[in-house]
Structure 1
Amino acid sequence: MSIVVFGSTNIDVCAYATRLPRPGETVHGDSYAITLGGKGANQAVAAAQLGAQVELAGRTGIDTFGTLARQRLAEKGVRTRALYQDPDHSTGIAVIGVDQSAENCITVVGGANMAVERGDVERLEPLLGEAKVLLLQLEIPLDASLAAARRFRSRGAVAILDPAPAPSHGFDAAAWSSVDAMTPNEAETEALVGIRPKDASSAARAATALAERGLKIAIVKMGGAGVYFRSPEGEGHILTFPVKPIDTVAAGDCFNGGLAYALARGDELPTALRFACGCGALATTRRGASDAAPTLAEVETILRCRNGPALLA
């Protein structure tokens, strides 16, 4: 199976402390890590860790962080034929604080990621015939992402947009119909439709509102409360797996990588979402961004968990 991820590549500087600082305050941390990140890279690694053939497209700078990012991608088995080395912009970075309850705050400096343009879509041409799923996020300009989505969908690929970070101005009408699915979390759903999903009932209303805007498949993520989906074939609520989280930084990215993997291998949407929930849950049990991505064997183990999620129609 082949998955193309068109999105951001960052280097993450993560600091771990008992609690996150308030504005104007300095706190002493316990440890730090410098790792591969960026929602595009995280999702690419998540799918590759499961065994998929993955191509990551986008931009890095020609700098130390860019070299480190490419090295880490290669180690994780991600191909980078369409990852352009931008001579005019630095590699993106994210500064992440994580507290003892696994909550986090993130500041992203996009760098080369935000220089991506429609011309970068042309670099994807050799990948068009190979991809079954295209993963997109909002850490590169939306115009380029939607152009890629239309190109890949015309060749039969499924285009999934993770609307993160949430757009303050929302989407225009064309954006909703340019992709097959969106996977917003609670905050992103509220930003898009004005409904914050806290349970199945509120998530169902939010999914309906997303569909009314022209979205084919709405996948509303609610953290520990699970996932609610609505598609032309039906809708339902999938509960999450019981785990003890220590770091939620890349849980959503691992969810999306797992969803892409399952759909690319031919799973029906409810089955693919249960698989994705397993990926997201496991990611919260370890530190780091791309380093938190589970293997296929680990996901298959949690899927056999007696207390794992059920589909509630």
Structure 2
Amino acid sequence: MTDTGTSPIAVFGSVNIDVCAYSGRLPRPGETIHGNRYSMGLGGKGGNQAAAAARLGARVEMAGRTGTDAFGEMARARLAGFGVGTGHLRADGGNPTGIAVIGVEDSGENCITVIGGANMAVDRSDVEAAAPLFRNASVLLLQLEIPLATALAAAALTRAGGGRVILDPAPAPAAGLPEEALRAADIMTPNETETEALVGIRPRTPEEAAAAAARLAERGLGIAVVKMGAQGVYFRGQGAEGFVPAFPVRAIDTVAAGDCFNGGLAFALARGDELPAAVRFAAACGALATTRIGAADAAPTLAEVKALLG
């Protein structure tokens, strides 16, 4: 295991099981078709980011909820297989484990139905139960697949303890985020569509990303890391500013790129990297994730990232 300090990376968020059906084309409403194959794997943005940081060698602890059903057992086993601690992942007997039902056709087009289940029942009692974890975390990773107020309560504990909070504003609410949420995070990592939802600018160039980051700063955000997919990553905040071009890789599946980016960013910051180096490391993690199929299973190892960075 790589030494990222004695304090863990904490992840507070969603844990799902992804059920994927692959077919030549997606069925039309009311139609039944034969598929080619199916798969089941760990998903949810929280679970994915925890797995990504753990596969790099970090000490990672996951907080949140699963159900007490078979999918919950599967999710916990998959997380443990990545090396993620699940002592703060509560079993909810009143709600099912979250799932995503995903249809994928040969062209790559997909349709997804997410049922949040136990993820959406996460509340302040979960924050209280995991309070020592949040207070002692070097970095806390948050997303928007659990109730926002609950996530922000955890953020306050981490910042009070001297840790950093990274908020992935996904899925971005149609009405945007309140300024309270921007002030509660040290770093926010929106992609192009999330940036547009937050500030009305869809960044396609570093200049447009810089304009979007400036608007986020005006609203109280300390550090903005704007992910633009194949166009690269722009970052700005606390005296640092820069642009990291996309790494040249052969992308076949982008579903895990954002989550692996955030897991890599947390890993790099927890081990002491300055922001420019941490963003470049994270960008390499996201790029490598696009070269393989799957969500959590697409996360790269530290050796793979080092090889890409040269």
- For this structure pair, what is the TM-score category when the shorter chain's length is used for normalisation? over 0.9
Specify which of 133, 155, 164 is matched with residue 161 of structure 2: 155
Unaligned runs of 5+ in 2: none
Specify which of 200, 205, 213 is matched with residue 219 of structure 2: 213
Specify which of 295, 300, 303 is matched with residue 294 of structure 1: 300
Judged with a 3 Å threshold, the aligned counterparts in structure 2 of structure 1 residues 176 and 46 are, in CA distance, closer, same or farther, namely same
Q: Deviations over 1:107-141 (max 9, x none)?
A: 21100000001111012223145311000000000
Moved >3 Å (runs of 4+):
16-30, 97-105
State how far apart, in whole Å, the 2-side matches of 1:275 and 1:9 are. Answer: 25
Deviates more, 1:271-280 or 1:165-174: 165-174
Deviates more, 1:26-35 or 1:289-298: 26-35
Q: Counterparts of 1:33-72 in structure 2 under 5 Å?
A: 33-72=39-78
Does residue 124 (structure 1) correspond to residue 126 (structure 2)? The answer is no
Q: Deviations over 1:155-195 (max 9, x none)?
A: 01100000000111212221111110111111111111111
Aligned residue identity for 1:114: M
Specify which of 237, 240, 261 is matched with residue 234 of structure 1: 240
Q: Secondary structure at the match of 2:230?
A: helix
Judged with a 3 Å threshold, the aligned counterparts in structure 2 of structure 1 residues 271 and 28 are, in CA distance, closer, same or farther, namely farther
Q: Counterparts of 1:148-187 in structure 2 under 5 Å?
A: 148-187=154-193
After superposition, the CA RMSD in angstroms is 1.7
Q: Is the 8 A contact 2:167 2:185 kept in 1?
A: yes
Match of 1:84 in 2: 90
Q: Is the 8 A contact 1:133 1:157 kept in 2?
A: yes
Q: Secondary structure at the match of 1:56?
A: strand
Match of 2:282 in 1: 276
Q: What TM-score do you get using the length of structure 1 for normalisation?
A: 0.92
Match of 2:258 in 1: 252
Judged with a 3 Å threshold, the aligned counterparts in structure 2 of structure 1 residues 184 and 18 are, in CA distance, closer, same or farther, namely farther
State how far apart, in whole Å, the 2-side matches of 1:218 and 1:72 are. Answer: 31
Match of 2:119 in 1: 113
State how far apart, in whole Å, the 1-side matches of 2:286 and 2:38 are. Answer: 22
Q: Deviations over 1:56-85 (max 9, x none)?
A: 000000101001111111111100111000
Q: Deviations over 1:241-300 (max 9, x none)?
A: 111111111110000000000000000111001110111111111111110111000111
Unaligned runs of 5+ in 1: 305-313
Match of 1:73 in 2: 79
Q: Is the 8 A contact 2:136 2:158 kept in 1?
A: no
Match of 1:93 in 2: 99
Q: How many residues align?
A: 304
Q: Secondary structure at the match of 1:163?
A: coil
Q: What TM-score do you get using the length of structure 2 for normalisation?
A: 0.93
Q: Is the 8 A contact 2:135 2:160 kept in 1?
A: no
Aligned residue identity for 1:214: G
Judged with a 3 Å threshold, the aligned counterparts in structure 2 of structure 1 residues 99 and 148 are, in CA distance, closer, same or farther, namely same
